[in-house]
């Protein structure tokens, strides 16, 4: 069983913030895969369900971002899981908007939600890094991630969320490579068509011309032949 966690801040005020893309991804996964309604548990809300034969628990901590580890640690202990059974989906300013990366373990890179998770369960858990872009200066980061996604981002954001949903069954099986393949198909779908080259239309040849009638006499034709 996997504990799949989306990071964000609770409440309508934060619902569409860049910082809440983890919550958004879990909402899409739950809706697309028929998970039951959210229930208050472990200082957050959870939804338990299955991807085929693979059981998973979706968790959205409601402790606010910088205390996300309180909720994640409580849920992990309740379900008697190891850190490698935990997968965290979170915003990533070091990736361009619309980029998605999978990794196991590593540092928290200053992300307050990951910093808190590290403090409670260590670093050996899986992460889905959801790129939101960087404002250009580190002092602008807090305000940037706590602002809503602009309307111009709607298309790529929808593709990312749907891609995470497409790949969720692979996350539940712990297969990060297949998860990334599913996301990639949503973000960069193959071109439509048969793949065959379009036949080249041959150039039209010049129209044939009919020679003018020969009006020479028999004697002229004979003379022309020997001159």
Full DSSP string of 58-127: EEEE-S-GGGHHHHHHHHHHHTT--GGGEEEEEEETTS-TT-EEEEES---TT-HHHHHHHHHH-S-SEE
**Would you say the pTM of this structure is higher than 0.85?**
no
Q: Write the class of the CATH domain 2-187.
A: alpha beta
Q: Write down the catalytic residue from 16, 19, 118, 120.
A: 19
Residue numbers of the chain with a pLDDT score lower than 50: 194-198, 200-206
User: CA-CA distance, 13 to 85, in Å (whole number)?
Assistant: 31
Q: Where are the domains of the chain?
A: 2-187
Per-residue pLDDT tens digits for 153-196 = 999 999 999 999 999 999 999 999 999 999 999 998 876 654 44
Q: What is the pLDDT of residue 190?
A: 79
Q: Is 19 a catalytic residue?
A: yes
Q: What is the pLDDT of residue 227?
A: 53
Q: What is the pLDDT of residue 69?
A: 98
Bridge partner list, 90 = 129
């Amino acid at each position: 069983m996997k504990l799949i966690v989306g990071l964000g801040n609770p409440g309508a005020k934060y619902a569409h913030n860049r910082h809440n893309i983890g919550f958004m991804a879990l909402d899409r996964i739950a809706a697309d895969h028929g998970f039951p309604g959210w229930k208050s548990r472990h200082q957050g809300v959870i939804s338990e369900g299955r991807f085929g034969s693979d059981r998973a628990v979706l968790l959205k901590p409601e402790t606010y971002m910088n205390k996300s580890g309180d909720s994640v640690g409580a849920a992990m202990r309740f379900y008697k899981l190891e850190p490698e059974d935990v997968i965290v989906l979170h915003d990533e300013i070091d990736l361009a908007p619309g980029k998605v990366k999978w990794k196991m373990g590593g540092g928290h890179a200053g992300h307050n939600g990951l910093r808190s998770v590290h403090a409670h369960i260590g670093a050996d858990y899986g992460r889905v890094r959801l790129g939101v872009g960087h404002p250009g200066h580190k002092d602008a980061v807090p305000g940037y991630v706590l602002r809503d996604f602009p309307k111009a981002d709607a298309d790529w954001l929808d593709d990312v969320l749907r891609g995470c949903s497409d790949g969720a069954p692979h996350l539940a099986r712990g297969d990060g490579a297949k998860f990334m393949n599913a996301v990639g198909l949503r973000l960069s779908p193959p071109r439509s068509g048969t793949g065959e080259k379009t036949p080249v239309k041959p150039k039209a040849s010049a129209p044939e011309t009919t020679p003018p009638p020969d009006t020479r006499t028999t004697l002229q034709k004979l003379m022309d032949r020997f001159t």
